[in-house]
Amino acid sequence: MTDFAKKTAVVTGGGQGIGRAIAEALLRAGGRVFLAEIDAEAGDEACQELSALGPVEFVDTDVADPVSVQALRRRVETGGGLDLLVNNAGIMARKPLSELGVEEWQRVIGVNLTGPFLASRAFAPLLSANSGSIVNIASTRALMSEPDTESYAASKGGLVALTHALALSLGPAVRVNCISPGWIDVTALQKGARRKPAVLSALDHAQHPAGRVGRPEDIAAMVLYLASDAAGFITGQNFVIDGGMTRKMIYVEE
């Protein structure tokens, strides 16, 4: 289920965090990975650290820019076909509604929602030729919220809906699925300038029905499964990976 030998993937936002963990898992499974990343420092650093595992290349990409996405496609085409697109790049603007500017709103929607649309549209022909798949990385914020996260929640909710729309439009040649992570600790997978030890309390872990905070490899494992032949009958679905948090009823005890 985790064999990706001689296959090629594009991972957007692959220089840090969950995207980097996904890239590492794909390389360990025998694949080739293009890291589409807007942070050149993170992209170069990730390539240097992951190159011992297999062929990996950083491509400077703004997923919200159609010209940049087309340049990414041209670079990938020079290396052959494509088997997997992981739309992982994402940003957040946490501000009170009264302070959230239209430009900030549009940038979050641009990266988190327009970006997956542009990449899916650009790479659909390559994926179709290889019976490939798309995995979108949304968030449990598509299902539940904290205050001051309107743009992020809206973008991730839209991404879940975009997933099933793409599954119908691109199937059966291309399967399209979505993963909605909960609390995933990515502190160890930031670029070097931002990397620091995790600070997690016993309560942080205990509030999860699974007994712990999530790890990036939890998401990477699901990506590998959804990209495999074992998931050949799965498309248009959203998989919540949150240690059970969205199933937990919370009451205030007096």
Which are the catalytic amino acids?
152
Q: Return d(Cα 128, Cα 116) in angstroms, integer.
A: 17
In a 13 Å sphere around the CA of 161, the CA atoms on its Cβ side amount to: 10
In a 13 Å sphere around the CA of 109, the CA atoms on its Cβ side amount to: 11
CB 190 within 8 A of CB 16: yes
Q: Return d(Cα 155, Cα 110) in angstroms, integer.
A: 9
In a 13 Å sphere around the CA of 126, the CA atoms on its Cβ side amount to: 25
The total number of residues written for the chain in this structure: 254
Max Cα-Cα span within the chain: 64
Distances (CA, A) of 134 to 41, 47, 87, 103, 105: 26, 22, 8, 29, 25
